Amino acid sequence: MSVSNDVSGWPSLFQPRSMDPMLDLDIDVHSLPKEVNPPDFWQERAACYGLDPEVFFPTTEEEAGLALSYCGVCSVREVCLAWAIQNGERYGVWGGTTEQQRRRLIRHVA
**Site of interaction with ligand SF4 (CB under 6 A):** 46-48, 56, 70-71, 74, 76-77, 80, 93-96
Q: What is the spatial distance between Cα 72 and Cα 101, in angstroms, rounded to a whole number?
A: 15
Three-class secondary structure of residue 19 per DSSP: coil
For the CB of residue 30, give the shortest distance to ligand SF4 in the complex, in Å: 19
For the CB of residue 109, give the shortest distance to ligand SF4 in the complex, in Å: 19
For the CB of residue 68, give the shortest distance to ligand SF4 in the complex, in Å: 8
Number of other CB atoms surrounding residue 1 within 10 Å = 2
Between 2 and 102, whose beta carbon lies closer to ligand SF4? 102
Residue 4: CA count within 13 A, CB half-sphere: 4
Between 70 and 105, whose beta carbon lies closer to ligand SF4? 70
Three-class secondary structure of residue 16 per DSSP: strand
Between 16 and 94, whose beta carbon lies closer to ligand SF4? 94
H-run or E-run covering 25: strand 25-26
For the CB of residue 84, give the shortest distance to ligand SF4 in the complex, in Å: 8
Which residue from 60, 56, 59 is spatially nearest to 77, judged by alpha carbons?
56
Between 24 and 89, whose beta carbon lies closer to ligand SF4? 89
